[in-house]
Each structure stands twice: as structure tokens, then as C-alpha cells.
Structure 1
Amino acid sequence: MPAAQRSSVDSPAERPSGTTDDAAAQGGESTALAGRALHESSGPPVAPVGLPRAGMFGAKGSGDTSGYGLLVREPYLPPVAERPFGGPTTSHLAQDERQYGAFDEVTDALYAAMAERSIPEAAIRQITVAAREITYYVAREHLTALLWALRDDAALRFELASSISGVDYGVDVPQRLHVVYELTSMTYRRRIRLEVAVDVDDPYVPSAVAVYPTADWHERECWDMFGVVFSGHPALTRILMPDDWPGHPQRKDYPLGGIPVEYKGAEIPPPDQRRSYS
């Protein structure tokens, strides 16, 4: 089977909750090859684990009257994608194909570029297709080489990193911190996503500034909010919070409230001291 037709899947022992044995069993030989590719890359599987959420930010007993305290959201875990990936399918298919491109065509070109640059197939550890987007889960040690290939290869030409953002999937999730790269090809009018997962005890990701100068402030914000350290960044400092601000406010374990806020002379008490009207 051509290399471009493989996408890594988790072994049964490592598969995140929310996946099924039936999905992993499909594909026969391709599953075995994909499993071997995943095993050869370092670290556990990188797909986020689906966990139910009860209450807004997990807050309980704060006297909240907004109704968010009763919110329960069931988890959703995009399954490992299989060929053919296809592309966006709507009534405006021709327009979508021009804008986003066919996922199979992009994947073929990416694997071909990796082969030319001696980037191992295990650098792409998993592929998912959800919400009309394709996501390549990437091993961080190969991130920089993949970004160069995606930018410079004639069949890819993803010239712009339009967004680099962080995600924290929660304290109970292995490799809970993810960095998401939204790449745009202005030549072919296509968009793809790359995702890298790290642990809070080892939150280091290579900086993309040398490849995409627009990554500069995006990475600073990701460091500021989530504490992801971008190795090689020219000036990794806070961009939203004061330089002496403690912690990283968008981590799931960051304390919610507890800091009195003054606004035009009126003080807003912390949530646990506010009056409940119900």
C-alpha cells in the first residue's frame, strides 16, 4: 500500500477512551502498518481523550447564577480517518474544492515531500477529518522539517501560518497541552491543520518563527496563556498579561476567580463571595 495511504492508529492498549475496537480493526494490513509506524515514533498517542464536562470550567458551589454550573457536555473524539479522505462536501462543492483542496491530494503530496526530504512516515502519527478540516497529528521532533516541506514544496505551497493556538484538554489527559497550526496555501487556496501534543512537565515545542515569521506573536500568546515553551523563539515573553503575572490563565487547572477586580472605583468581589439570587 502506498505510504500516502497510511494514517497512524492507536494500539488497543493505548487507544484513548471514546474509540472503538471496530474502528481499529478495519483495514487489515493497513492497520498493522499504521500501528508499526506509530510504535516507531516517540511518546504515547496524541489524539485528545474525550472527557465529559460538567459545569462551566468545572466550577462548583460558587453561587453562580448564570446557569453555566448545570452545563453538561458529552465528549467527542474524531475517529482516525481512512482513505479516501475526500474533501469538503456541500452544495457548493466546486467552490469548496478550490478553497480547501482535496484532502487526499494534499496528503499524497505531503508524503511525497517527506520522502524527498528523508522525513520518516512516523512523523505523522495520526490523521483525522472532522468539521470539514483535516488534521495531521505530528511528532514534535519532526515539526520543523514538516513545516519547511509544507511551505516550500511546489505541490503544497502552504505559505502562511494563519493561526497558532494552544489547547488544554484537562488535568486527567496524558499530553494534555496541544499546539494547533492552521496553515493556508494562497497558491492553491487550501487549508490544513497540524497538531502537536506535549505534557505539562515537558512543554517544549520547536519554534516556527524561522519558517513562518507570523508565528512570532502567536507563539508568545500560546506561551502566555498555556505555558508552552517554544524553543528557538527570538523573544518568548508575555504578550497579554503583565510580565510578573503568575501562571498561565487558560490552563484548566488555573484558579478561576479569587482575585478582586476594581472598575471605575467599584469593586467586583471574587465568585465565591458574590451574592446568590436563587
Structure 2
Amino acid sequence: MTNEFVLEAITREFPESVISSSEPYGMLTVEVKKEDIKKIIHYLKDSSLEFNFLTDICGIHYPEFPDKEIGVVYHLHNMMANFRIRLKIFMSRENIEVDSLVELYAGANWMERETFDFYGIKFKGHPDLRAILNMEDLGYHPMLKEYRLEDGTRTDKNDSMFGR
């Protein structure tokens, strides 16, 4: 199994869904349309490609790109061929919702809850979408880049001591 073979299989089955592809560090990375992610992953799992293990689901936040501000990254693994693939989807802040994969991979349950907890991404069809690591009354999603990392009013800190 090669990156070219898997990419060709995806583009043949879903010609309108693939936005871009790359191979950082040799891993096939495919950006697809948000509305097609569940169909594509279902195909990757149930076809002869046999991506039967969902390694990870995580969120990403790029506030400098309003049309692609929030993203979800999926890592799948074909354990028989020892082949991995990364799928990415992006969405604007106004439409921060994507289909749940819990019915395809039971392990997606906690991964989607963690992604919701930290980024506020809602997974349609999730059986129990609520905070998993943060307190439920926290009131914000801590991994969104909405706050300064440091307190600019501090006077007890010398930036030159931190290589700045």
C-alpha cells in the first residue's frame, strides 16, 4: 500500500471531495470537504483499504484564517499493512459542527468529547457530548487561541531571561 494508491482510491470514489493532499514526513495527508468526512472514513474502513483503527481525533485553531479557522484532524491506521493516513477538515467559526464517527469507531466517543471540550466543536449524532476533562461550568474552550498567553502587566519578569 502506497500514498499514491490510497490517494487515487479516495479521489476515484469521491472526486469532488478532495481539496488538497500532501505528504509531510511521508504520511499521506488529505484535506477533504467537511460534509463528506463521514462518508470518506466509512469508505476507508469498509473497503479493501481496511483502515480499521482510529488512532486519534483532535482539533486545531487558526484564527488568522476566518474561512478555515477551526479544523478537525483524523488519524487512521491500517494495521495489517501498517499504513497511516491523516484526514483534515476545516470550517468557519459560525458553522462549528461535524458528523460524529461513534457509530463507525467506538473509540471516537471519548476523542470527540475531548475535542468538543477543548475546542467547542460539536459532533452531530454523538451519544453523550459533554465536558470530559474540564469542569462543565468552565464557560470557554481552553485550546482556542482567544487569550494572550502571558499577562502583559507583569513587572516581575524580564523577557531577556527567556530568550526574547
Where on the TM-score scale, by shorter chain, does this alignment land: which range? 0.7 to 0.9
Contact 2:11 2:18 in 1 (8 A): no
Change (3 A) 1:171 1:110: closer
1:255 to 1:276, Cα distance in 2 relative to 1, 3 A: closer
Distance 1:172 1:186 in 2: 35
2:104 equivalent to 1:204: no
Structure 1 gaps, min length 5: 1-100, 115-119, 258-269
**3-state DSSP of counterpart to 1:109:** helix
Q: Does structure 2 retain, via aligned residues, the 8 Å contact 1:159–1:183?
A: yes
Aligned to 2:137: 244
Distance 1:256 1:108 in 2: 42
1:143 and 2:53 equivalent?
Answer: no
Query: How many angstroms apart in 2 are the aligned matches of 1:186 and 1:143?
Result: 21
Pairs within 5 Å for 1:1-278: 101-112=1-12, 114=13, 120-154=14-48, 156-256=49-149, 272-273=153-154, 275-277=156-158
- Paired amino acid for 2:126: H
Distance 2:69 2:106 in 1: 26
Q: Is the CA contact (8 Å cut-off) linking 1:171 and 1:252 kept in structure 2?
A: no
SS at match of 1:174: helix
Corresponding letter in the other structure for 1:276: K
| CA distance in 2: counterparts of 1:251 and 1:109, whole angstroms | 34
CA 1:255–1:241: 2 relative to 1, 3 Å: farther
Distance 2:39 2:133 in 1: 30
- 1:160 touches 1:186 (CA, 8 Å); kept in 2? yes
Q: How many residues align structurally?
A: 159
Aligned counterpart, 1:89: none
For normalisation by structure 1, the TM-score amounts to 0.53
Paired AA for residue 123 in structure 1:
S
User: In the alignment, residue 153 of structure 1 is paired with which amino acid?
Assistant: S
Once the 2 structures are TM-superposed, how far is the Cα of residue 172 of structure 1 from its aligned partner?
Answer: 4.3
Displacement of 1:173:
4.0
Q: Counting strand residues as a fraction of each chain, which structure ranks higher?
A: 2
Query: What is the alpha-carbon distance in structure 2 between the residues aligned to residue 274 and residue 196 of structure 1?
Result: 42
Classify the secondary structure of the residue corresponding to 2:80: coil
